[in-house]
Amino acid sequence: MYITPTPAVLASALHKVFADSAQAPDSLALWLDIAAEAARELSMPVMAPVIPWVPVFLHYRLYRTEGEFFPLTGSVRITTGPLIGNTFADPDSAARAVVDATPAPVADRMRKMSPLWRFRPTATTATLPAAAPVIP
């Protein structure tokens, strides 16, 4: 099955160019490479089974939770911590689950704010198969 790249697929591909580059973040060469990758990604159909999970993490209350982001659906699969093995439909619901699973005082104002997922500095993906997640 072929699909058009979603913004998440495009963002994932562009982050890989950025992370793999030896160029300075403000160099013209880097941004020309990113633009070329964007044009390439937008002109190619994508086969869902070959889209890799992208490593991500978030910090909340001095705890680091690692996960993987699936660009095609926007799902996040938790790979460390008390929620290991759980897959969530989107980054926001995964972040809220991490907040709920992290010990904190009941009256804590921070519990109302979800932390944000970030790409891990390495552009490697997990060793798990790149199968599309089943989200109920």
Is residue 89 helix, strand or coil?
coil
pLDDT at 93 over 70: yes
The Cα–Cα gap between 39 and 58 comes to 30
Q: How far out from the chain centre does Cα 105 lie? A: 29
- Report the side by side order of strands in the sheet with 63-70: 87-88, 75-78, 63-70, 54-60, 118-119
Band of residue 19 on the pLDDT scale cut at 50, 70, 90? confident
Count of CB atoms within 10 A of residue 67's CB? Answer: 29
The Cα–Cα gap between 115 and 46 comes to 30
Provide the whole-model pTM: 0.56
Mean pLDDT along residues 53-75:
88
> Which comes out higher in pLDDT, residue 107 or 102?
102
